[in-house]
Structure formats: C-alpha cells, structure tokens
Structure 1
Amino acid sequence: MSSDPWGRVDEDGTVYVRTAEGERVVGSWQAGSPDEALSYFRRKYDGLVVEIDLLERRVRTTDLAPKDAETAVGHLREQVVDAHAVGDLDALVKRLDALTEQVAVRREERKQARVRAHDEARVGKESIVAEAEELAESQSWRQAGERLRELVDAWKALPRLDRRTDDELWHRFSHARSAFSKRRKAHFASLDAQREQARVTKEKLIAEAEALQESSDWGPTAQRYRDLMAEWKAAGRAQRDAEDDLWARFRAAQDVFFAARSGVFAERDAALKDNQTAKEALADEAEALLPISDVKAARAAFLALGERWEDLGHVPRDARPRLEGRLAAVDRAIRDAEEAEWRRTNPEARARATGLAGQLQDAVEKLEGEIAKARAAGNEAKAGKLEKDLAGRRMLLEQAQKSAQEFGG
C-alpha cells in the first residue's frame, strides 16, 4: 500500500483522497505501481488548481460579469466536490468560497455603479430637458436651434433610464423641441409675409420715383423724393435676393432727377456769380459802418445799402447763407446801438432813475443818523443791526446812481 498526506492506494488498487469529511474513493489503479497511481491523480488535482488560478485572475483583472463568474465558480465547485483527484480539495473549496465572496462584492459594486450611473443619467437628462424647455421660448433662432441639436446628441450619449422615467423625460424634451420649431416656423413665415409686403410697397415707391425722374419742378419734386426715402425706410427689408435690385432701381430713378437738377442749378449759379461778387462788396461796405459812432447816420447808410442789395437779386445757393449772415450781423449791431441810445435819452426812465437815487440817498443818511444815536446810547446790538441794513442800502444806492449817470443825470 502507498500513501501521501492527501491520499492512498490500498492493496487492491483502490485510490482514496482525504478530506475534512473523511476518505472517499476517487478511482482504481491496476496498470502500475501505487506511486504511479498517486502521481496520476495528483496531476488531476493540479489541473483543478490551474483552472481555479485562471478564474481568480479573470475575476481580479478583467470585467468578467458576476453572473458568468458565479457560473464558472459553480462549475468548478462541482468538479472539486466530485473530483477524481488527490490533493487538498478542502483548500480548493475554500478558494472557491473566497471567489464567491469576491464575486458578490463585485456584484454589489456593479449594482451601486449602475445606481450611480442611473442617477447621473437622470440628472443629466433632467438638465437637458430643463435647458430645452428654456430654449423653447428663445428668439435666438440660429443659436437656440444649434444648441437643441447638441442636446439631442448629449441625450443619445447618456444611458437609458427605467422605461417610465426615460419616456416621461423624452416626451418633455421632444415637446420643447417641437414648440421651438413651431415658433421658429411661424416667425419666419411672418417674416416672409412682411418681406413680401415690403417688396410690394417698394415696387410702388419705385414706380412713383421713376415717374418723377423727368420732372423739372425742382423744389416740390425734391421734397417728394425725400418723403419717398422716408417711406422706403419705414417699409422694412424685402427678401434678400430682391432687396439689392429694388434699391438699385429706386436709387437710379432719384439719380436721374437729382443729376438733372444739379446741372440746372450749376448753370444758374454760374449766371449768379456776378451778383455774389457785388454783394460781397456791399457786405464789406456794411461792415465798414462798425463800430457805430452816429446811430442815425449808420441806420440811414444801412437802409440805402439794403436797397442796393435787393436790386442785385439772387446769388448762388451755397453763398446765400454766408452773405445774408454778414448783413444781418451789421443790422443787429445798429439795432443794439439804437436801443442803447433810446434808453439813454428816455425822459421818463431818467426821472425814475434820478428819483430812486435820491430816495436811497435819504434812506442812507437816515440810517447813518440812527446808528450814531444808538452808539451814543451804548446800544451796540442795535447799531450792529442797523449797520447791516445800511450796507444793503448803500449797495442799492450805488446801482441807482450808476443808472442815473447813464441817462446823464
């Protein structure tokens, strides 16, 4: 009989393995020595060890699914329990028990990971839906449309939730996108209608502008063209492909009229150039009246000069404001001199100024007397108060005397 720590072969060739529960038969050996029999069955044990080593490595280093790992552990456990092998089978069972615990831990980790992923996906999808519902009210059509497309891609990248939650969130997301699309479609339909109306309006404006382009009624026609331009701006823009063509036609009609008007005015201005030269000389003559020493002589000279000015007639339009401004400045200077002379020689005004100065002089002398009496009586408080009143009256007196002097008083 031959044996080792984990098994033995008896005299009739029966092979036993030792376990915690006692010995059990694992086979029979008749073809060789007992040592050969034990070696054969130890090799079978070694094969089980290799398989368990491989499974432990897979569980430890790969993403083997817990369900597949449990199936593999169960399969190996059956092999170990019923193994026709000699070795420490109890140790193999313990290793399988430890693997079972590891797989259970892995299963729980995966469960928690799925819960976290579900929660993160739910939060992500709720965030997407909230943003989409906000964008549904936006009028930034291009930016909002692009962002909604990005949100669709973001939704697809997230894992599915439970069916009910996922369907509810998708329904809200889809509704927001549809609401935005409807609003955008309605907006652009309205815009197209407005642009079509603008096109019709501008066609009418062009027709009128073209009808006026040969007019020689320069003032009213120029004003009507300005009105047409205001109506053009108020009409808004037509379709992009039509707007440039419409504007070119409208502008061309105006150009015909204003080019003709400019030509006529240029000829007229050339004919009026001599008038401008003559009025320049009259303006110089008028300005020579300044400064004014004799008001009546200056006014008489200015009136005579004005008659000559009117006799000369029109000057070129661009020179008219400057020339008339020079003459008006001389007229204002003469008027100011006349006003000053009237104030100086007005008897009523002179009398009022002289009388007021006299009244104020009397008031000042009276206050001075009262102040002297108060000080003589030792009443400095009253004297101080009267001094303040005296200062105000003296100031008024000074102004009244100055005014009286202007009237020669």
Structure 2
Amino acid sequence: MLQSQSPSPPPVLSKRSGRRVRMPARYNDFLPGSTTHLAHMPPSSRQKRGRASRSPSPAPIPSSPASSRDSAIEDTPTFTTEPDNIGLYRTYVRRPTHIPTDMLHTLVDAPTLDSGLPVDKCPDAPTLESDTPVDKHLLHGPPDPEPQFNYFSPFTNPSSALLMAYQYSGTNAKSGAELDRLPRFLNHPEFHAPDTIHFSHTREEQRLDKVLETVDKPFPLEHGWKCSSVKIPLPKEHCQFPSESDAPEFEVGGIYHRDLTDVIRTAFEDEVFMTYNTTPFTQHWKVGEWVQEVFSEAYASAEMRQAYDEVNTLPRESGDNLERVVASLMMWSDSTHLTNFGDASLWPFYLFFGNESKYTRGKPTSNACHHIAYIPKVSHLYII
C-alpha cells in the first residue's frame, strides 16, 4: 500500500515585501558526483521532471588510437549514464553488476544535516535490474550459527559490556552530544536494565585489565592475527661482505600481522561490499557541446581500468563464469601517539580499499580502516 507523501512546509514570506523568501543556492546540500541510472534503464521521477531541461545523453567519447589496447574487452559494448544535475556522467566498459548509491547523508555526519530516507528507501537510489534473482546467501554466505560461548566476556553480562563500551567510546568528557548517544546503548536488544542494579565500573574495569594482561589477547588468533619475526641484514663498520646474505642479521620479533587475503575476503563478504565500486569507469562533465574528463576517485582512474582489463583478459578454466574485479589496496603506515601525557606510541600498518568512495574513507564513523600489522620499534642498535 502506497503512503501519501508528507505535505511541503509552508513558504516563508517576507514581512517587508510579502514575497516568498527563497534559500540561496549556495546553501543547498548535494553531492556533485552522485550517480544516475544507466541510459538503458527507466529514469527516476526526478530525472523525468528534469529531462525537459537536460540535453540528450552524450555518446561515449572514443579513445584515441594511441591509448587503445589489444584486449577482448574493447569489443564489448559500453554503457553510459545520463548526466546528473551538474552534467556529470559515466562511461563503463561493460555493464556493472551494481552501482553504489552515493547520497549526501550516507557520506557525512553533520549534526545539522537532515538524513531523510535511508538508502534502500530513497526513490532516487540507482538500481540495476537483473534477469535472474540474486540469492542473498550467494553474496554474504549463510547466516552465522548461534554462538556457543560468552560473547560478552570478560564482562559480567551483555548490559555491563554495553555500558563499558559507552564509557570508552567517543570523547573523554561526556558532553550533551555524548549523552544523546547513551539511549542507543540502552535500547540495544542485549541490554537488560535489571543487570545494571549491581553494576560497578571498578569491577568491570578490573576484569578488562585482567584479560589485557595476556599478551595475545589484543591480537586474538581467532581474528586472523599472527605473530612472526623478520631478519634484517645490517652493515658493519670497516667490514665488507661478498654479498648481502653474508652480512650480519638482526631478527625483529613480536610483529603481529594479518594476511591480506583474509582481510580482502572479509571485506568483500561484508555488507559494506555493496558500497564498493567494482566496475571502473571514465567520468566526464558535459556543458553544452563542451566535454571535459573528470578525475575524482581511485576507481575512475586509468590505472584501475588498466588493471581491470588485465584481470579480465587472463585465461579462464572451463566452467568459470564468475565476475572478476580488482581490489584496490591503499596502504598507510605512521606512528600513532597513544596517550595525552607521555611518549607511549605504536607503529600500525593499515589498509583502505580504493573501491570505496574517498568521502566514505574520510568519515571516521564509517570504520573504513583495516589494521594489517603492528611494527615494533627498534632503536639504539649496535653491531660489535
């Protein structure tokens, strides 16, 4: 059953002239690079309303002979989207399996922003129809079995764990904004008010400290963490060696790390995969008869398209009809200060996926960063 739309708010009239007051265009919130429907897909209601003022869909811009590659993908038809509000459109080398929805409220966390409808309920969210229904389990796997252990360990109960999560998240000083976050924990399905009658912050903190005393707990093996060591060949003063293998070695132990393949598999099996761009494209800006290529995201770069072509031109085994995509890995490493007072620090090695929008990667609450390794510091090293 369709629900009627809420009535528009009454216009604001000027007290002096009586004319309608309009919001300046510079205050309109919108995402310049928002995606649109493919040209062969039915347009949305918003596109129908603005089609009269739009120019026809531009044809794909042919590539120069110098940049053409001898690839089977070049023989496949391209797909071009319609220009959006400011004239941006995309050209895909092949029909994408899905187009992530880039809505303003999904990319920013401004407290004054009206979030509006969720992404899956937004009428302007781009979708791609398929001839065959997609089984949800094929994308995300079967549902996880019920846990057979105390998942709230080391805390007393789930409610205590939730309160401790509230205590150690956010800022150090609980302001009004932090108080607004508390109902989200209190309304959690696992929160039970009777469990908090005898809640003690000191007791729960002692239980947490007792667990952290174990060395391997911060890097649990069940989460894919491994502990390894590496040997580094070092120079020696006033000595010359025939080869690098003959030089003295220094072994650095205590390096905790995770396999890249495990991190990639976990990310692509998670629901966040639906926000990844798996089919690279070229983006252009059309104003009248003038067309200019736009460089904005990693998945719209020439390097991404080249890697996509190379992966899809590799030989396939018989019966292999799976889609091949490129996982764009962005590695970073820098020292991280841990305390407000003192010099305690870590040297993490972390990963971002270039398949995700740079706006999402820059939003702290999106949890787009994946920890890969922690490098121990080695200083004051002398070889005698």
Q: TM-score range by the shorter chain?
A: under 0.3
More helix by percentage: 1
TM-score (norm 2): 0.16
Query: Computing the radius of gyration over CA atoms, which structure comes out larger, 1 or 2?
Result: 1
Relative contact order higher in (CA < 8 Å, ≥ 6 apart): 2
More strand by percentage: 2
